[in-house]
Amino acid sequence: MQKIAPCLWFDGNAEEAARFYTSVFGDARIATTMHHTEAGPGPKGSVLAVTFEIEGQEFIALNGGPQFPFTPAISLFVHCGSQEEVDRYWAKLADGGKEWQCGWLQDRFGVSWQIVPDVLDVMLRDPDAARASRVMAAMMKMVKLDIAQLEAAYRGG
């Protein structure tokens, strides 16, 4: 068990969300499902929380109610090694959600994600400020990140 696990607050659809997330990522599974007892607060037998894992990271999906909707102030960052990975995660997670600038999206449950190729970090940290600036300018014009376009900006094209 890891020391810290993100707990995501849902309004009655925690189990659906956990099943969706575990279907998106290859190394993922539902670990446990906790149900309400007669003590409540929800109807006895209904899902209270689902613990699931993605790539070894534990998450808890809690059916907490409508009081606290998700905002982009917290997002889940997905490291991608290729454009194929960026495209695959983007297509699945954006389906039914909203696409935003710079590789950000909000999925159908309201959770914000950043789908980012690892090479972007390398280019943005380049000691050549002109290269890094060109990459940043190119990224700011994108919705889904495109490695070929980022690399072209990096090379000065």
Q: Which domains does the chain have, with CATH numbers?
A: 1-68 (3.30.720.100), 70-157 (3.10.180.10)
Asked whether the predicted pLDDT for residue 1 surpasses 80, the reply is: no
Q: Are strands 47-54 and 104-106 parallel, antiparallel or unpaired?
A: unpaired
Is a pLDDT exceeding 80 seen at residue 157? no
| pLDDT interval class at 155 (50, 70, 90) | very high
* 25 three-state secondary structure: coil
Tell me phi and psi for residue 82, to 5 degrees.
Answer: -155, 165
- Identity of the residue numbered 32: T
Per-residue pLDDT tens over the stretch 64-73: 999 999 999 9
Contact 117, 146 (CB under 8 A): no
Q: Say yes or no to pLDDT of 41 above 90.
A: no
Q: Enumerate residues 6+ apart whose C-beta is below 8 A from 132.
A: 123, 124, 125, 126
Contact between 26 and 84 under an 8 Å Cβ cutoff? The reply is: no
Q: Which residues pair with 143 in a beta bridge?
A: none
End-to-end distance of the chain based on CA atoms, in angstroms?
Answer: 47
Residues contacting residue 70 through CB under 8 Å, at least 6 positions apart: 8, 9, 106, 109, 110, 111, 112
Please write the tens of the pLDDT for every residue from 108-123: 999 999 999 999 999 9
